[in-house]
Chains A and B, each alone.
Chain A
Amino acid sequence: MTKNVSAHAVSLSRRKLLQASGIAAGGLLLATALPFSRRSYAEQYVNKGPEDAPLDTPTALGAFLRIGHDGQVTLISPKIEMGQGVQTGFAMMVAEELNVTLDQVRVQEAPPDEKLYGDKLLGFQATGGSSSTRSNWQPLREAAAAARLMLIQAAANQWGVSPEECRAENGKVIGPGNRELVYGALVDAAAKLPVPENVPLKKPEDYKVIGQPLRRLDTPGKVNGSAKFTIDLQLPGMKIATVNACPVVGGTLVSVDDSRARAVPGVRDVVKLDNAVAVIGDHMWAALKGLKALEIQWDMGPNAGIDSAQIERALHAAFDREGAIAAEAGDINKAIAGASSKIEAEYEMPFLAHATLEPMTCVAQVREDACELWVGTQVPVMAQQAAAKAAGLPPEKVIVNNQLIGGGFGRRLEADFIAQAAAIAKHVDYPIKLVWTREEDTAHDLYRPHYIDRFSAGLDANGMPVGWSHTIVGASVMARFAPAAVPPNGLDADAVEVSNKPIYKLPNLKVRYVPEAPKAILNSWWRGVGPLHGAYVMESFIDELAYAAKQDPVDYRMKLLGDHPRAQAVLKLAAEKANWSQKLPTGHGRGVAVQEVFGSYLATVVEMQVDAQNGIHITRLICVADCGEVTNPTSVHSQLEGGTMFGLSAALYNEITIKDGHVEQSNFHDYRQLRMSDAPPVETHIIPSHEVPGGIGEAGTAMIAPALVNALYAATGKRIRRLPVARAGYHVA
């Protein structure tokens, strides 16, 4: 077991600590917590047997559950809340199998611990890839069901009856003669019992909590200003740091004249890193003014001359390389050569920034023998390792207190800003809160790759595809993020997702991937990840084939979806809801996209009118999902609505460009986001299903761009093959 990492005495009582850390569901109230005064999470919560647990500590029933003597159930959530509603969903799963109501469950963030909290689908401890429900649906319900059986057994033992004569209900065990014991009175005895294996789970028809549209647990504090995000934390003695990193990736700091900065009232310190300068002040205003007053000399490094045009030329040139085969079936050359007609197209997607509304922020304190972080992160173990490296400490000396996230979208799967915070904090003897400016956040992101996709297809006399060739060029995110996960031929499973297993019947096909890492820009995960890219190109090209075959885009897809009844069902319902067969006036059009993404089936229909000034009026936006068993339908609807518009925002407006080695965009005035005035109403429909749950947090995002460009084509006859559509002169009217 981890020993207390602090050399300083534990100054608050355990009871106080638990109160301090447990008040806000899904988050921590940190204003009362002193750095290093608490024992580590690992020590406090994990692997605690009842023997060494003081009486006021909730008793552990496995890695995920704690029950207090007051009956309060605490779920140790392996996933962080960033607005997707995951922690409420998890609490519902636990409430269901534990036979308690949702208000009896509170949620606490899991500490970094791959063994206990690693994601089985992703292969490491992370919140991402729309995997949360998929990975935890079974283990969380099993953990709660096992706990319920243990509590029943404990009561039966106490009463000297058989467990079959007892049942659990609403936080109590009820035995023969209606005698009752509350969970809180049983938990110590229960925790000593062996954990039952192969516990039976409830059948859908018996669900009382799962499937209900329940309100999220974390929202009340988010409407009255009391919820604390990382940026809101205040520790005693803490100062505010803000930073300028070298504008060009790979550049370094030569020198800095900080005399004017240090003269700014409230500026405390100026810290030099290899590639950045931080100013620390009593408040952000002092730090910001100090930052402006710095005179910095950079060595811009090898990427100083790079611009977008060069990057694009390199991507195009990569098509000449062989790359890796992602999928191959039949004889593509023969099939295309013998086809009645041939059609080709090239699509292109730009670099994208995440632009989470809460900019990158991390609270850090580093001492000689320990480091403590308070940070909203999608990757607690990576955060721990990155900070350890920056602080020059072994990882076990780094405590990570995960926090509510003000927008993740993949950005907080990276720990660059966390390492930077630790590196800055190492230079000072007080805790710092590193807050990136919006400008820093926009220009020092790790961006969604710029992809170029080339297709060629052969159609038979009926216009149906007989050969399908697809080549993908773009950066391999995986090669940078987790090189060990990429085979020697460079085949990145993320880059070819959707494309390598088309849901359409395509008898002869070949899919190639050529990785090409751009200069001057780092690439990472972005909401929608592989399917965002795959769905856009696949659904654009299939639409082109439908029009080339002079067939209705819905009918055409339907014919090719024979092996996928769930895909056909969402497509059918979306077409119905959209009145697809009803003719539209000139200048209006509908576009559709259907795919299996993240284990869910989605169909999205956009209906729009385009005016003479190239103004787009989206009149309807319909999204139909079959995402298997639904835990909380409200969350699914919300994620579909928000996720769809998130993708729409990018498809309409966004593109990160490079000039002289640096990112040209800086803030919301030049990296425009969807606003109320251009947000269409999104109609969402869920097809009831008892299939295993699919992911939903990114599914809507992946589907909107193709539906949008397909609708634009239907309305105008113009095919947009390069995003964003604003490049082609369109705007939202």
Chain B
Amino acid sequence: MLTLNINGADHQVDVPDDMPLLWVLRDVLGMTGTKYGCGIAQCGACTVHLDGTAVRACVLPVSNIAQGQKIVTIEAVGKSDLGKKVQDAWLEHEVVQCGYCQSGQIMSAVALLTQHPDAGDAEIDAGMSGNVCRCCTYTRIRGAIKSVSQA
């Protein structure tokens, strides 16, 4: 039995040690907002926050998560002021196309803006290039992030 603190609540899960957090979230806990895109940390669709830092849940075995580390997913990122601002900016800028990558994009953007509240183009390039959007909504993602950034 492992205890995972997800979105402020403790969850007891009985899963193999090597099981990536992605599948625990999706297939065990039914939290499907975090997406699968590649399974090898190449697309960012599975991005969640571990103690505020963006991580790729598809390559993070649950046993590597220490007791008490806080996991935040797209389902709850809007509870923080910044998370809500970013989600609103996404709607305001009509970023979304198919939407499949956008959970991961928003999680990466919130982590980026937490670290760099004044993120400009260079920080956006560095912080967002791990997230693939096959609909290529990059122009609007950049615009939405800039609207929240204090740069």
Contact = CB atoms under 8 A, between A and B. Distances in A.
Interface of A: 31, 82-85, 215-216, 218-229, 231-232, 234, 240, 265-266, 282-286, 288, 355-359, 404-409, 435, 437-438, 634, 638, 641-646, 648-649, 667-669, 673-677, 679, 681-682
B75 interface: yes
Interface in B1-48: 15-16, 18-20, 23, 26-28, 30-40, 42-43, 45
A645 B32 contact: no
B134 A676 contact: no
A667 B38 contact: yes
B141 interface: yes
Contacts of A358: 35, 37, 98, 100
A225 B99 contact: no
Contact of B101 (A221, A357, A405, A644): A357
21 contacts: A82-B98, A83-B135, A218-B99, A222-B96, A223-B96, A223-B99, A225-B31, A234-B30, A285-B20, A285-B23, A357-B43, A357-B45, A409-B134, A438-B39, A638-B140, A645-B138, A648-B136, A669-B40, A676-B125, A676-B129, A677-B126
Given A283-B27, A676-B131, A225 B139 contact: no
A189 to B, nearest CB: 39
A731 to B, nearest CB: 14
Contact of A229 (B23, B74, B100, B141): B100
A234 B27 CA distance: 9
B31 to A, nearest CB: 8
B42 A675 contact: no
Chain A facing B: main interface SS: loop
B23 A224 contact: no
Contacts of A643: 136
Interface in B104-135: 106, 124-126, 128-135
A285 B74 contact: no
B29 to A, nearest CB: 10
A281 to B, nearest CB: 9
Which 5 pairs across A and B sit closest by C-beta, in order of nearness?
A225-B33, A222-B99, A406-B100, A83-B98, A83-B97
B138 A676 contact: yes
Nearest to B125: A677
B97 A283 contact: no
B78 to A, nearest CB: 6
Given A356-B134, A357-B45, A407-B135, A284 B26 contact: yes
A83 B101 CA distance: 11
Nearest to B132: A673
Contact of B106 (A223, A404, A648, A681): A223
A634 B94 contact: yes
B137 interface: yes
Nearest to B100: A406
A648 B139 CA distance: 14
A644 B32 CA distance: 30
Given A83-B97, A641-B137, 15 more contacts: A84-B97, A216-B94, A225-B73, A225-B103, A285-B27, A357-B43, A405-B98, A407-B98, A408-B98, A645-B138, A649-B136, A667-B40, A675-B131, A676-B142, A679-B138
A283 B95 CA distance: 32
A58 B129 CA distance: 46
Given A223-B106, A225-B103, A265 B16 contact: yes
